[in-house]
Structure 1
């Protein structure tokens, strides 16, 4: 049915005068992505909120907690390539709400789980169904935004993960405190189902949109936006993937640079999404209300970093800096700042610990425009597959970080975790400097 409306949209530039003022529908799309990311990350982080009480109820040691916290990552990483394949073939209007509803249902059922095994299985289901989310985000922003606005758009919707966590994590902790940990999952899952239906009703690709006029579509196209990407017509004509396609996305040094760099960057993120609340409760002896407030401070810092990163990068690009330098400078600077968390080893002051954590997470937010390099480097016909590979390798950290930290720490010493996180961040800097090189689209 969607394809019946495609022709009038494509022919619109021939009907309307080119002097028409361009609409701003792309900003509405960015806001929709923002809200989707808020929900996405609430469903990733809700387990960290409930983890101390779940561990108490089911009698879990730190190694078991690490395994539970990593369960999301096993399927999230494993499904990146199938997810990328789906993103290249199923329009975002349809694929996103399907994924939203399915991972939200799994989240709701986590609130009803009666065993450790059930929690593991359901958490793995959440990971599997969330797998296409960020490749979809990247596809949408590549279609809707010209190159000179893309980093700002990516920074804006990425900020959703930190705004949601900073403002809503205390709400979830309060909800858990007055009711039970079960309601943390029921509440976040219900919101996701509602938003999935709203996305299906309102989202369209640029050439399918009745709200974006010809002037806006032409502005996006002339600026390097792939306005036909993800439309019904182009999706239906997609050829089958071949071994050559996989060889292409796995055989370029500069792509490996962003793959490895993403693993190092997201390791810090997954520390905050998994072990940070437990660290405050069990190693800093804070109560749950204190934890809710103090947890929010690094997330607010990360939010500031994200909002600065996209604007800073696009401003540098507009003022004549090369695409590569304008994208990589915030990323490398952010990774340097994220190494500051090692300072927590050398102080017993809660204020200083939170300061070090806030600087580290600010850096993580500042470096969070890495998807702009996927948009700039990926072969045009393999945006989804490249994004899937990028997210697959990057989010192996969602498996490694919870498990490695769970194995390194003891009941009284969390220091080895901070050493590990610092070494990983340093490796990320080396990857962006030594492997990525000149930023230009890979041909193929």
Structure 2
């Protein structure tokens, strides 16, 4: 190994992932900030609004496995560039919905959200794939927590801005501004992202360090061509779903993502309709739980990696923050029993602090995904998780329509946090990397790796 001081290029790569993921979640949240005005202008019921909120997730889920295949086939740099560019372009186009009226406006809005969802599909599997390539196992929890915490930072940074834009310039301005910013960032991505072996600023000391620590440095190109047989997609997916550990992780992610989509879709509406805040105030208030979620996300990754460095097993280091975080997230149910706005904000902040601590699913995916099918594995994980983006807005819409309040909705979200705990405690078992072994028909069967931390 080289005696030269190692560069720290991997942290620059992580900073770019964080910025892009911040834009990603801000663009997802545009519809929730504009939601109260859109609901009024288009005359939508709560159930109809729930379906509009869910449109993103329908296509996002369907496109996960194709997106993962594209990542494995063409690499993260080029696939992610087109993802950023097109989701941003479709976000800009959502501002044009104002040129339509009635059913046509709703149909155009729904279709554009479908397009945004499909375009964003490779984003998080791409994040996981790049993290696996650039970070050793003992830093991977922190790295995954940082890019995942961008979902909260997006609200901290952009919810007040978007609330002000709606208040001052109308709901269309949110889509124009955020979409244009994303288009600019797509070209920044192309100029800054490389695989470890291809990056012009990395030195041998850093490359040796991350490779020795378990980083999959060849997954993003620059290494020797793989001699492993090409894996047949269908059989690999079936075998991944047959792995109890991975299935527990997938189901747990569905439950955790239910909390995310409540926050991205109905939370601002909850503040306006249930707590009677103005849209401008709601934009600023929504940022407070997001700050807590951001801090919790960073803390969860730090705790997990510190436990690893202190000698804890990979399973204990990943599961402990997840379980503790979901216990805290369940506290949001107590909002049903308080009336003061400051208490509601405090409880929601505690809940999303916990949600942030427990959001280590992508670190687990980086720890467990097969080397030959990291994109597919991440896509399958994200398919399960973002199915919650379909069910959560719709279920909450029906709950509100049927009961006239958000009380049942908060219980529904809290119950999902409990199920996530049960998945990790009772189903996941030992966390290990899955290895794909060739089968006679050229497909592959996943087997847990004995190393468990590669």
Q: Please say whether Structure 1 and Structure 2 have the same fold, judged by a TM-score greater than 0.5.
A: yes
In the alignment, is the contact (CA less than 8 A) between 2:133 and 2:216 conserved in 1?
A: yes
Corresponding residue to 1:339 among 324, 330, 334: 330
Give the root-mean-square deviation of aligned CA atoms: 1.4
State the Cα distance separating 1:351 from its structure 2 match. Answer: 1.4
Q: 1:433 aligns with which of 425, 429, 454?
A: 425
The correspondence of residues 146-225 of structure 1 with structure 2, limited to 5 A, is 146-225=136-215
Alignment length, in residue pairs?
A: 428
- Asked whether the 8 Å contact 1:205–1:231 carries over to 2, the reply is yes
Asked if the contact 2:197–2:222 (Cα under 8 Å) also holds between the matched residues in 1, the reply is: no
Partners of 1:379 and 1:258 lie apart in 2 by 15
- Residue 271 (structure 1) aligned with residue 262 (structure 2): yes
* Equivalent-residue separation in structure 1 for 2:413 and 2:149 (angstroms): 22
Question: Paired residue for 2:123?
Answer: 133
Counterpart-to-counterpart distance in 2, 1:242 and 1:261: 24
TM-fit CA distance, 1:419: 1.2
Cα deviations by residue, 1:286-319 (Å, 9 ceiling, x for unpaired): 1122212211111011011011011111001101
5 Å matches for 1:187-336? 187-231=177-221, 239=230, 241-336=232-327
- Normalised TM-score (structure 2): 0.92
- What is the match of residue 368 of structure 2? 377
Q: Deviations over 1:65-86 (max 9, x none)?
A: 0000000000001111111111
Confirm whether residue 25 of structure 1 aligns to residue 15 of structure 2.
no
Deviates more, 1:231-240 or 1:314-323: 231-240
Shift of 1:424: 1.2
Deviates more, 1:236-245 or 1:382-391: 236-245
Displacement of 1:371 in angstroms is 0.8
3-state SS of paired residue (1:206) = coil
Contact 1:90 1:235 in 2 (8 A): no
1:234–1:140 distance in 2 versus 1, CA, 3 Å: farther
CA change 1:60–1:84 in 2 (3 A) is same
Separation of aligned partners in 1, 2:422 and 2:290: 26
Matched, 1:117 2:107: yes
Moved over 6 A (4+): 233-238
> Which residue in the other structure is 1:64 paired with?
48
Q: Distance in 2 between matches of 1:421 and 1:235?
A: 46
1:179 CA displacement: 0.4
**Aligned partners of 1:153, 1:53: CA distance in 2, in Å?**
37
CA distance in 2, matches of 1:360, 1:41: 19
The separation in 2 between residues aligned to 1:44 and 1:251, in whole angstroms, is: 32
Q: Report the Cα distance in structure 1 between the residues aligned to 2:174 and 2:396, rounded to whole angstroms.
A: 24
TM-score (norm 1): 0.94
CA contact (8 A) 2:86 2:119 kept: yes
Aligned to 2:19: 35
State the Cα distance separating 1:234 from its structure 2 match: 6.7
Following superposition, the deviation at residue 248 of structure 1 comes to 2.0
How much does 1:232 deviate?
5.7
Q: Is the 8 A contact 1:281 1:288 kept in 2?
A: yes
**1:236 Cα deviation from its structure 2 partner:** 8.9
**Could you tell me how far apart the structure 1 residues matched to 2:346 and 2:435 are?**
44
Per the alignment, do residues 159 and 145 of structure 1 end up closer, same or farther by CA in structure 2, a change over 3 Å counting? same
Choose which of 410, 419, 434 in structure 2 pairs with 1:442: 434
Change (3 A) 1:166 1:244: same
Change (3 A) 1:310 1:181: same
Give me the whole-angstrom Cα distance separating, in 2, the residues matched to 1:234 and 1:397.
39
Q: CA deviation at 1:233?
A: 6.2
SS of match in other structure, 1:207: coil
2:411 pairs with 1:419: yes
Question: Counterparts of 1:361 and 1:234 in 2: how far apart (Å)?
Answer: 44
Q: Distance in 2 between matches of 1:384 and 1:91?
A: 9
Gaps of at least 5 residues in structure 1 are: 1-16
* Partner SS for 2:392: helix
- Contact kept in structure 2, 1:89 and 1:236, CA below 8 Å: no
Work out the CA distance in 2 between the residues paired with 1:409 and 1:209: 51
CA distance in 2, matches of 1:281, 1:233: 54
